[in-house]
Amino acid sequence: MIQPTFLNDPKLKKLKEVLLDWINATLKAEHIVVLSLEEDLFDGLVFHHLLGRLANEHVYVEEIAITTEAQVRKLSIIMEILNDKLGVTEETAKWSVSLIHGKDLLATLHLLVAMAKRFQPDLPLPPNVSVEVVSFEVSKSGIKSDKHTEHITEGQSNPDKGSSDSVSEAGKDSEKQDLIDELMLLEPHKISAFKQAILHFVNKNMSPLGLQVTEIEKQFADGVMLLLLIGQLEGFFIPLYEFTLSPSSDPEMLHNVTLALEILCDRDIQVDNVDAQGIVSQDVKATLRVLYALFKKHKSR
C-alpha cells in the first residue's frame, strides 16, 4: 500500500490529473468519462476501450460486466493482450488482474504510465514521481513486512528541486504519524488485511499454550493475553502473583496492562502514544501499536 501521506504529494496528484485528462480525451468520442483512477477502472470497461482506441485492437468481450466473475474474466482477456502489446509478462509486470480489480492505485498507475509511454510517448508525464510503499506478506512461516520507495515515472538524471522537496516533505509528514495512524486512513479491506496478518503472528506464537485470538481489541483488553504473549516471545515466565489471571474489574485489567507496558519498556520495545487505559478501553489503534511493536522485533519467529 502507498503510505497515505504520499497521496498528497503534488507530483503524484499532477500525474493522476494528466492521466485522467489523457484517458478522457482519448475516449471522448465514445462518451466515456473517468472521474477517478481508483474507482472507475477496475471492471475492465475503460481498458477495453483504450485498447481499441490506442492499439486498434478490438476485443470481443461483454461490454458491461456486472458480476465480479464477469469483470475478472473480462480483465484477464484484456490484460493478456495489453501485456503482449507492452512487451511484459505476468511475472515481470507491476500490475495484475487481481490488483487492478482490487482498485490498487499503485498497480493502476504503473499500467497507465506503461500504456502512455507505449502508445503516446509525447504525453507530458510529470518526471520523477515516487512514493513510499509498505507491503505485508503472510505465509505459513510468518509475516514479512517491507518499506521501500517505488518509482512510477522516470526523469532527468538530476531530479528537479521541486521533486526532491515534495518527496522529502511527504517523508517528513510520514514520520509525524506512525504506521498505525496511517493504516487507519486506508480502506476498510486493507485495515482488515493488516489485522489478519497480526492475528496470524499472534496465534502462531500462542498456539503452544493452546490459546487463540479472534478479536484483537476485546481479547487483549484485560492484559492477560498480552502478558502471556510477551512471555512467549521474550522467553520468560511471568509469575501468576504479579497479575490477575481472571480480572473482573477495570482496576485489575488496568494493572495487568500497565505491567505489560512496563515489561515492554524494560525489554527496550518502544511503544509510543499508548497508555494502559486505551487498551483496556478496547482502542484498536492502541492495541495494534503494541502488537505491531512485538511483531517488528519477533517477526522472524
Residues 166 and 191 in one domain: no
Instruction: Round to whole Å and give the CA distance between 93 and 88.
Output: 6
pLDDT at 101: 86
103's grid cell: 482498485
**According to the model, what pLDDT value does residue 46 have?**
87
Same domain, 148 and 206: no
Residues 214 and 131 in one domain: no
Enter the C-alpha cell of residue 66.
456486472
The CATH number given to whatever domain includes residue 291 is 1.10.418.10
Claim to verify: residue 160 and residue 245 sit in the same structural domain: no
SS3 content of the chain, % helix, strand, coil (to 5): 55, 5, 35
For residue 280, the SS3 value is helix
Domain boundary among 155, 176, 197: 176
- Asked which of 176, 204, 219 is the last residue of a domain, the reply is 176
pLDDT at 225 over 90: yes
Assess whether 163 and 287 both reside in one domain: no
For residues 201 and 137, state if they share a domain.
Answer: no
* 130 and 113, same domain (yes or no): yes
Q: Looking at residue 226, what is its pLDDT?
A: 93
Residue 23, Cα to own-chain centre: how many angstroms?
Answer: 26
Residue 59 has pLDDT above 80, yes or no: no
Domain with 239, as residue range(s), is: 184-298
pLDDT in tens, 133-189: 877 666 666 566 677 888 888 764 333 444 444 444 444 444 444 677 777 777 777
> For the chain, how big is the Rg over CA atoms in Å?
24
Report the predicted TM-score, pTM, of the whole model to 2 decimal places.
0.55
Q: For the chain, how many structural domains are there in total? A: 2
